[in-house]
Amino acid sequence: MSVQQAAYKFDCSTRQIRRIHAWYKAEGEEGLHPRSHATRSHPNQTPETMVLRVIELHDQLNAQGWDSGARSIHAYLSQQSPGQTIPSVSTIWRILKRADRVEAQPQKRPRTSFIRFRADYPNETWQSDFTHWQLADTTDIEITTWIDDHSRFILLAQAFEVTTVEVITHTFLTASRRWGLPQSILTDNGLVYTTRLARGNRYNMQPNGFEQLLDKLHITAKHGRPYHLGTQGKVERYHHTLKKWLTAQPPAQTLEQLNHMLADFVAYYNYRRPHQSLDNQIPYNVYTATPKAEPQISMNGSLWRVRVDKVDTFGKVTLRWQSELRHLGVGRAHAHTSVAILVNENHATVVKTQTGEILGEFTLDVNKNYHAKNPK
């Protein structure tokens, strides 16, 4: 048959007949097998160097105990290569999938099913909880954490042999002296935080020492419903990340060594690690981006803000006022005393937190850094 006759008989174009004939002449019957229609060039294909970098970064993060999913890798690449073109999250996921680095987790709920709550300002709400960990000799240790609800910034993480009311009070005051007082706190119903549900509250137990301190400082205490851990989801998720990291490290031999490890972890978590729930921003940047909320006390028709501190060895406390640090002379006799500082406009009052005793009243001056007590 001629080309035209074959095209008519098999209902195709003469061009297709010539192409098939050419394949047969060049390759024989092998040339008649179906051929791939895929394009021979891929101008948008991810460079091999980037593919290797994605896999290497995944393995590195995984070995160190950090999140190593596609979103995390995308955030790290954006941080390490500003201004450069990097693969999308979906492309990174496909790279990991082809490299057998993706583990199916069908038990996970889809992200769209979560209802997220977030405080509007730093220090508007602090979450707290403690979790168990073991030293190398299987000694059980408890790690206490305070985390800012707005920014997921870790305000304090410290390990103790056992968590008591005194430990919670101590860690709260330590964090407050460095980062300021929160407007409210959110915890579970553990006895170290509240006695409101102790023994079903049948015995009408009095508030514990920590609850009394919050009441003195006018800080709102909020508690999740029993058996609803999702209410304190931020600190629970943090503990998951912490334990994954600790598991990847050599086990701590002592309590002191574990606390050194916690300090290293918190430094990386707060100042270097991009957080997915913060649009891949660093927690410290989010924590310091907006003014902080703070508790306020209404007295004589005026609102006073509250700050806690400890009198130093030389009898002074420090207060930030008018964007500068001011030093208030309380007196050497009160060195190392825990105090609350009440501030209204240019008036400040220093009060002993344990007894409520007024240790000094001050009139603040923008031209002075050191202020002596007002005359009695």
Residues 279, 349 within the same domain: no
Residues 134, 21 within the same domain: no
How many beta carbons lie within 10 A of that of residue 352, not counting itself? 16
Residues 262, 339 within the same domain: no
Tell me the per-residue pLDDT of 280-330, one tens digit each, with 9 for 90 and over: 899 999 999 887 888 877 666 667 778 888 899 999 998 888 878 899 999
Domain boundary among 287, 310, 326: 287
- The residue count of the chain comes to 376
Residues 256, 313 within the same domain: no
Residues 95, 150 within the same domain: no
Looking at residue 207, what is its pLDDT? Answer: 84
Query: How large a percentage of the chain has pLDDT more than 70?
Result: 91
3-state helix, strand, coil in the chain (%, to 5): 40, 20, 40
Kindly give the interhelix angle for 255-271 and 233-247, rounded to the nearest 10 degrees. Answer: 120
Looking at residue 67, what is its pLDDT? Answer: 83
Q: Is the pTM of this model over 0.75?
A: no
> Which pairs with CB-CB distance under 8 Å and at least 24 residues apart come from 130-135?
130/163, 130/190, 130/192, 131/239, 131/242, 131/243, 133/159, 133/243, 133/246, 133/258, 134/251, 135/251, 135/252, 135/253, 135/254, 135/255, 135/258
Residue with tokens 């021979």: 40
Instruction: Output the six-digit token pair for 155.
Output: 């305000």
Alpha-carbon gap, residue 116 to 244, rounded angstroms: 23
Is residue 361 predicted with pLDDT exceeding 70? yes
Tell me the per-residue pLDDT of 90-141, one tens digit each, with 9 for 90 and over: 898 888 888 888 876 666 666 555 556 788 889 999 999 999 999 999 999 9
Residues 76, 178 within the same domain: no
Over residues 249-274, mean pLDDT? 94
Instruction: Report yes or no on 342 lying in a domain.
Output: yes
Which ranges of 3-161 does DSSP label H, i.e. alpha helix? Answer: 3-10, 14-27, 48-64, 70-80, 89-98
Most confidently predicted of 40-44, 145-149, 306-310: 145-149
Alpha-carbon gap, residue 236 to 227, rounded angstroms: 13
Instruction: Report yes or no on 41 lying in a domain.
Output: no
Cα distance from N-terminal residue to C-terminal residue, the chain: 121
Alpha-carbon gap, residue 210 to 126, rounded angstroms: 14
Residues 302, 270 within the same domain: no
Domain boundary among 236, 260, 287: 287
Residues 75, 192 within the same domain: no
Where in the sequence is the domain holding 348, given as residue range(s)?
296-371
Instruction: Report yes or no on 74 lying in a domain.
Output: yes
Domain boundary among 239, 256, 287: 287
Kindly give the interhelix angle for 48-64 and 70-80, rounded to the nearest 10 degrees. Answer: 110
CA distances from 65 to 34, 60, 68 (A): 48, 9, 9
Q: How confident is the model at residue 354 (pLDDT cuts 50, 70, 90)?
A: confident
Residues 148, 238 within the same domain: yes
Q: How confident is the model at residue 233 (pLDDT cuts 50, 70, 90)?
A: confident
Residue with tokens 């009695």: 376
DSSP 179: H
Is residue 195 predicted with pLDDT exceeding 90? no
CA distances from 6 to 1, 16, 20, 24 (A): 6, 10, 11, 15
Instruction: Report yes or no on 42 lying in a domain.
Output: no
Tell me the per-residue pLDDT of 323-351, one tens digit each, with 9 for 90 and over: 788 999 999 999 999 888 888 888 999 99
Instruction: Report yes or no on 232 lying in a domain.
Output: yes
Residues 130, 211 within the same domain: yes
Looking at residue 182, what is its pLDDT? Answer: 92
Mean of per-residue pLDDT scores for the chain: 86
Alpha-carbon gap, residue 231 to 348, rounded angstroms: 37
What domain count does the chain have? 4
The better pLDDT of the pair 15, 206 is held by: 15
Residues 283, 174 within the same domain: yes
Residues 201, 237 within the same domain: yes
